[in-house]
Amino acid sequence: VAYAAYWMVPLSFNSEDQKPFAEADATNGSRRFRLFCETYGVPITPALFEMIAEVLNHMGSKEAARRMVGD
């Protein structure tokens, strides 16, 4: 769920090409994120945001990438 939400809902403020979409969604009460969660029956809880943060940290970790490719 965290990985899908990352790609389907603009959650990143770091990528310049995604920033306008993430800002617009946040300004509009995170409509796309709420709709995503409602559609897939996922309750919006602090645990969900913790899981998303964990996935994003893992995706951005050079050490995790090294482990995945066997370096």
In the predicted model, is pLDDT for residue 67 greater than 60? yes
For residue 37, what are the domain limits?
2-69
Residue 37's identity, in one-letter code, is: C
> What predicted TM-score, i.e. pTM, was given to this entire model?
0.57
CB neighbours of residue 10 within 10 Å: 22
Q: Count structural domains, the chain.
A: 1
Longest dimension (CA), the chain: 43
pLDDT in tens, 6-56: 666 666 556 677 677 777 777 887 888 888 889 989 998 989 888 888 887
Number of helices and strands in the chain (H, E)? 5, 0
pLDDT at 10: 61
